[in-house]
Structure 1
Amino acid sequence: METQAIVELFPLFSAANPETLEWILSVVDEESYGQHEEIIKENDWGKAVYFIVSGWVKVRSRYNHQETVLEILGKGDFFGEMEVLDESLKYIDVIALSDVQLLSISAQRFLQMLFKDPQIHHKMLQLSVRRVRHLYRRFQLHQQTPKIKLIKTLMKLAEAYGKLMEEGAEILQIPDQDLADIADISLDECQQIITQLQQQGCLESDSSRQVLFLTNLKQLNHFAKQI
């Protein structure tokens, strides 16, 4: 990967100086995973930070024989940094939702990178604050109706990782249970709302390509405000 490509793909590196970028490219490893493959096991946290070049992953909690999807991440995002900077998580793993291409950097090299370039260190703080703000917004949705929760979840995924089109966006066709988990609604509610949105012309699915089309973001935004 060229330095310009890594800057365009990952906001964390947008302010890095050229020497740091060259160094980063010299120490990262390229990794590939197939759909449903485990990327990080429970005991692997804290060893490296992973940057998503392509594909989608889910961060999953497995505790007391129950599984819950905590987050879904896509191209341009990264994970594992909190466990390098602080205590490793327990009962959490990361699974590929599609074929995934990653860049990984060891914990030691990641910390070196933060000390090496103050601009990256500052950007890391900004992105960490953004993650906290996102969690706060998800908490604010807790009292909203299931339809608002699901619509705003779909729009967030589209805006963060989707392929934008003239009136809508294309995202991965995420399994219903995973989508229900991150929207904090039941599976039945999720499936019923998806059917409603399809009937209203706001969603289309292509199972052969495992793609979900948000065909009218403007209308979805209107629903979210009016419900």
Structure 2
Amino acid sequence: MKVKIAYIEEPPFGWADVDHTVTGADIELAETVLRAIGVTRVEHHLTTFAELLPGVENGRWDMNVPLFVTPQRMTRVDFSLPVWAISDGFLVRAGNPMALNSYESLAQRDDARLGIIAGQVQHHAAQKAGVSDDQIVLFDQQAEAIDALLTGKIDAYASTALGNRILADRIGHELAAAVSHPTVNVEGDSSPTGAFSFKQGSHELKDAVNRQLRMYLGSADHRRRMSRFGLTENEIDPVVIG
């Protein structure tokens, strides 16, 4: 049994090493769960964020790495049980020269520019907090947004707080810093959750994944594997069942 899973380059959730090995917290969880349900071959497909939902809808692959669950996305795909809960944060230049620590603080600076990956939930969160469209710069790839930040084309990059901490470590704290801030998703939940997604009607695969997730999430092995990528009880405990 083969399952094709799509991912995007977004450490610590998924990326390809220099030897082209695909790794990351979401990749590790997917492979562990899929192997446990009898999948003998896991095929990874690198794509852009904008293509995740259309790709699985059209059957180009079988499932997506976890992304935030929203009512709008639920009309297009079927989601698994939640696998993590993560709030937003900014990646800024070292020293945070504009003192940006929330969407609201950025909205108050007419000269501040915020980079966001097109289609991600941070776009709605920023708009809801008062960030104007003129202040928002959309990108297709994370690497483009980081380059824009480091070259001064934008003043902050909005993504997950966890992901930005990993990015700051990789880029170097002499160049960039991660700023965590409280965020509220479109439904008012202070801990937005992410889940695998499938083509609507793919009940066999989704149900098998969910059965394994119910047994596996929060286990010692799950926590150990996720800790290698920086996920802690803060991200895991809110989605552990029972």
TM bracket, shorter-chain basis = under 0.3
What TM-score does the superposition give when structure 2 sets the normalisation length? 0.21
What TM-score does the superposition give when structure 1 sets the normalisation length? 0.22
Highest RCO, 1 vs 2 (Cα 8 Å, sep ≥ 6): 2
